[in-house]
Every structure is written in structure tokens, then in C-alpha cells.
Structure 1
């Protein structure tokens, strides 16, 4: 395993050296696959993460979702099992040994197809309809050799651009298979239940992501999820740890912060662009979420680069 992990580390190091952007991301031609490189520990990073798996090859990171915080390091895999707001921080990284990881967004369609062919041991009738109450959204486990092996073959495929279109789908499918077969399997299976609560809520989350800047009635979201408004509200909070309104507010605030940091937008223009009608309300909610008013927070976030 050490030799396999070392070879994977070498491949990711080489690729990120020439493909990483200013945000530390190296996008790849393989759908859903991105590499992360950071030469120094980071400040707090805010996001609403999609379901994904992240293999850490070097360095350490901490992620919080709701009240649940996990720390993970080289040799670990993080699973984010649902769409959920996260606060993360790279805690160990240096120029000689930067933080390096590989992340793959999970595909519910692939998961559903695979789970239909590999029944869960001990599954009981009606299990897919059970709610996800009490299930943590973050899971950390040691990276299994089969998962690392597929990751290495994905990295090697990047050196053969002509083969990517032909071979990427089967490698992505194989990665999902080994994740389902391994320690992360029980948590991942819920993503593939088409009428399970996690997947129903995911349909509503997709609407929120697309139309976050517009007013969205709870009845519309409940209809998309195939639930009554009261049942939808209960299950939405159980899956994401937030109410639908809070989730939409996080989407707006995270996008506003990105507009100010990446595009140089003013606080007022960012507020209006993401759907706020009142700059004072935007400032209050921004301060509660990020700990500082917009202008001060953006100045602080840019300070390390000064």
C-alpha cells in the first residue's frame, strides 16, 4: 500500500505542479475529478459541498458540517455524504510538502445502478425509504488499496488525453464500486435510493442551487421532493442540518463572498446580485456567518497574500 500511495502521490504532485490555479485547484478532463494543492495552511474556507470523496495524499485538513467536525490526514479518505454547508481549513502544509488531495464528485445514477447489482448485506425490505435521521454527513476512513489503485489509474489516464473519452466512464464506475464495497459503502448507498429521503432532498437542493437569488416558496421545494411542506421541512433539516431558508441564505452569502474576493465586487453590488434587497440585512447576516462585516472579512482574507 505504501508503494501504491507513494506512486499516487508522485503523480498528483506532478500534475498539480503544472495545472493548479490561483485557488489551489487543478481541474481535470475526467468528469467530477479535481486535485487540490496548498503550500501553506489556509484560513477558514466556506462552501456548500456536493456529495464527494476526497483522498488525502499529503498534509492535513479539518472540516465542519453543522456540529460535526472531522480531522483527516495523509492516507485518509473523507466522504461528504450529502449536500451540506461546510467550513474547512487546511491545517498542515508547507512548501516542501504541500497539502495534496484528490476529490471525486459522486454520481447518484452510478450508485443506484451499482447498488441494484450488489445488495447490501443484511438489508431489509423497505430500507431505502427510511429517513436519514441521525446520520452524520461527514465520514473519515483509511483509504483502501482498491480505491487508491483506481485513483492511480485515473491519474495515469490524464497522460493519455486521446483515451480519456473512451476510458473515463469505466474508471469512475469502478471507483464508485470499490467505495460502495468498502467502509464508506453504507453512507454512500443512501445517495442511490431514487425515492429515499436523501435523494428527494437532493432534488430540492438542486432547485435552491439554481435559483438561490430568487424567492422560492417552500411549497415548490416540497413538490419537487414529493413531500408535504411539513414533512419536507423536517427531512430537509435532518439531511442538511439547516432549514431550506437557512440553506438558501448560505448559498447567497457564500456566492457574495466569492464575488467580493474573486471579482472585486463591492458589498452592495454583491448583496443585490445574490438576491438581497437590503444591504444592512446582508451585512448583519454576513457578519453572523463569517464573523466580520463584508469589507473587513474580505480585507482579512486577502491579508496573507499581501
Structure 2
């Protein structure tokens, strides 16, 4: 199963180029990553996601915290989060390979109501690393196998994703995900403001409008936004613009001035 996932990550990133050395591709809603050498730290903005490392190792830093994860381990991110990441272990003969999928917080909420899962009473982490669950890897492998048959993927993907999220709730990351996915949690409220920023990052957005979307006062919103994402709202929007400009420069090969203009600079 792991060999099949490694082969898929290698195949989907073949022929790509990236100045930082980390090749990224997407197919069927699944992200594939490959690096044939260690890379420098690069800024990124994570959505709630899971990342299965198939080979090599990577470090991700947010604020004062660093998470290191390697082959056979899974990174779980439960909120929108500003990070800097680097591939720590990779070589031409044993490249860094990983597969990533978004976590659907709404689907987690639906499952929580069905299985009567309780959220922990105490605050939990936003990010966790643990040994990859066999059941989770099996779900991911089945999704990857369906990428080349779009008709089958369209029909079977919802049920496989539902199963995947069930195992996440039942696994070692379950308590974290249960609390972060609560509709009235600070993380869930901030995610509504982040959705506005992602949808309209090229234009200035009044903080009052973002706070209203989160259902918070402006002062409370500022504090909770930084606690959840590690950045202020303005810093987060600037990071969004930089990430999008970099994607356009390297993915669409547009001029620097055009990319800067399109993202609001």
C-alpha cells in the first residue's frame, strides 16, 4: 500500500519544477509532494489537513513551535495556520514523498452527532503528529487509486472521505479535531473570517467586517485570530498575497509585476 502511494506521488509530480525544490501537484482533490533534496524554509498557509509522509522527513514551524515528522507518520492540522516548512531529509535516490488531503470540519461535526463523540473540556493543540493509522492510510490509498478513473472517484469519494473522517475522530487526533470542529469554538469562528480573506485577499477588508463574520468584538477578534493562525488579520492577508503571487509566478509563469498587481500589491 505504501509503495503504491509512493509511486503515485512520484508520478503526479514528475516533470514539475519549483525554485525551492518542493514539487507540489493536485489530482482528484489529493495533494502530492516530492523533493529530491533538503529544502529551505518556505512560508505557507495551511488549511485543516492531514499529510501522510511516505518517505523522508519534514519540519513545520508556527510561532515558537516546531513539529518534525517522518515516513510512517501523519501531520494533522486542525485550523487555518500560517507556517514555515522545510524538507529535512531527501535525496535523489530516496526523495521526500507525501500525500495530503483537506479535513472537512463540517463532515466531522456531522459524524460527531452520529457517534455521540464528546469534545475534551480542556483546550487542545492545533497541530499534532502521530504514527499513521492503518485505516487512514487505507482510505487515502483507495482515493489515490481512483484518481485515474474520474467517474468512479465522483461516485465513491464521498463515502471514502466519510470513512476517513470517522477514523480520524476515533484515532489519536480525535480529541483535538472534536474540539476544533465545534461550531462555536474560537477556531471555527476564526475560520469563517479566514474564508472571507481567502475569497477576497486582493482587496482591503475592514477588520470590523471580519470580526462580524466571526461573531466577535474587534478586540476579541484580534486576540483570537492571532492565537489560532499565529498572525494578525493584516499579516495573514499579506501572507495570502505572497503565497498566491509565488504560485502564479512559478505555476503560471506570469511576470512579477502582473502577479503583484493581481494579488493586490
TM over 0.5: yes
Aligned to 1:167: 156
Is the Cα–Cα contact under 8 Å of residues 53 and 79 in structure 1 kept in the other structure? yes
SS, match of residue 45 in structure 2: strand
What displacement does 1:106 show?
A: 0.5
The answer to whether the 8 Å contact 1:68/1:138 transfers is no
Give the 5 Å matches for 1:1-306.
7-8=1-2, 10-20=3-13, 21-23=16-18, 24-29=23-28, 31=29, 33-120=30-117, 123=119, 135-158=124-147, 160-262=149-251, 263-266=253-256, 268-276=257-265
- Structure 2 vs 1, CA of residues 28 and 256 (structure 1 numbering), >3 Å: closer, same or farther? closer
| 1:51 to partner: Cα distance | 0.7
In the alignment, structure 2 segments of 5+ residues that lack a partner are none
The answer (yes or no) to whether the contact 1:41–1:91 under 8 Å persists in 2 is: yes
Cα displacement string for residues 126-151 of structure 1 (whole angstroms, at most 9, x for unaligned residues): x5xx8x6xx44321111112212222
CA deviations 1:210-239 (Å, max 9, x no partner) are 222211111100111111112211211221
**Residues 186 and 224, structure 2, Cα contact 8 Å, conserved in 1:** yes
Conservation of the 8 A alpha-carbon contact between 1:111 and 1:191 = no
Q: CA deviation at 1:245?
A: 1.4
Distance in 1 (alpha carbons) for counterparts of 2:211 and 2:167: 34
User: Who wins on radius of gyration, i.e. which is larger?
Assistant: 1
Structure 1 residues not aligned, in runs of 5+: 1-6, 277-306
Displacement over 6 Å in runs of 4+: none
- State the superposition RMSD in angstroms: 2.1
Deviation at 1:28, TM superposition (A): 2.1
User: In structure 2, what is the Cα distance between the partners aligned to 1:58 and 1:243?
Assistant: 34
CA distance in 2, matches of 1:78, 1:242: 21
Separation of aligned partners in 2, 1:269 and 1:157: 37
TM-score, length of structure 2 as denominator length: 0.88
Q: Tell me if the contact between 1:65 and 1:137 (Cα under 8 Å) persists in the aligned partners.
A: no
1:97 Cα deviation after fit: 1.4
Aligned residue for 2:51, secondary structure, equals strand
Aligned residues: 258
* SS of residue matched to 2:91: coil
**What whole-Å deviation, never above 9, does each CA across 1:14-34 have from its counterpart, x for those lacking one?**
2234322435233222x3x21
CA shift at 1:269, angstroms?
4.7
More displaced 10-residue stretch of structure 1: 87-96 or 155-164: 155-164
**2:78/2:126 contact within 8 Å kept:** yes
Q: Is the 8 A contact 1:190 1:199 kept in 2?
A: no
Asked whether the 8 Å contact 2:56–2:97 carries over to 1, the reply is: yes
